[in-house]
Amino acid sequence: MYEAGHGVFISGAMIKLPDGTISLEFDIGNTSSTPVSQLAIQFNKNTFGLSPKNPTITLSSPVANGSVSSTSLHLAATPQMLNPQDVNLNLQAAIKNIATGTVFYFVIPIAMEALFVKGATMDTPTLVNSWKGMNESLESSVLVNDLPTVDLEVIKAKLSAKDVTFIVNRDLPAEQTSVLYFICRTITNATFLVELKFKAGMNISKVTVKSPSVPHSDLCKTAIAKIIK
């Protein structure tokens, strides 16, 4: 993410800290003559109800002309900020420079993989029944090409590191295919069933996600593909 307005520029990314906190890690620069010491930030309602835990960003020291300072903004999810009608990975934000009163608007990309929570699990029979119980119309799939590895243990470890829980592996010898099933849950308690198919000798995977909401599954599918790449 990189945005600029009224002499202030911001670059950064959304991450999940080791304690599970969702954080925007910012670099804030200044090309104006007025030092930047404090900013106010506000989000529009969004898919995951994200909002700043503290709407004021106070920098450790003023950012003078030509300088850059790093800071963090911790986020929370609140029902009041949910916008279920517009499902996407865009977080519309406004920042006000307290020193000058100027406001600029920008869009922060939501890293959905940062929104998965620990502890999502399901026993194998329940997962199988849940998967079969959801109509195919609720599936969202993508073919991920040119994977750096198709070692299934490495794939499982990559997903586990992002709190996507492995449930069961099913081998289909006649098709030379391995099928892995996972579950993940977001901070908004949206649960997704994930199927990954790997065919022997090919560095590709078909990622299929099921949930009651296809638009949300589309976002999850993109996040899973990003993790395994």
Q: Report the SS3 class of residue 83.
A: coil
The closest alpha carbon to 211, from 128, 135, 106, belongs to 135
CATH top-level class of 2-110: mainly beta
Q: Report the SS3 class of residue 93.
A: strand
Question: In CATH terms, are 2-110 and 124-228 the same topology?
Answer: no
The closest alpha carbon to 131, from 224, 209, 218, 213, belongs to 209
Q: What is the pLDDT of residue 2?
A: 46
Domain boundaries, the chain: 2-110, 124-228
Pair 111, 59: CB distance under 8 Å: no
Q: Could you confirm whether domain 124-228 is CATH 3.30.310.10?
A: yes
pTM for the full predicted model:
0.90
Per-residue pLDDT of the chain (229 residues; tens, 9 = 90+): 544 556 788 888 999 999 999 999 988 888 888 888 899 999 999 999 999 999 999 888 888 888 898 999 999 999 999 998 889 999 999 989 888 888 888 889 999 999 999 999 999 999 999 999 999 999 999 999 999 999 999 999 999 999 999 999 999 988 899 999 999 999 999 999 999 999 999 999 999 999 999 999 999 999 999 999 9
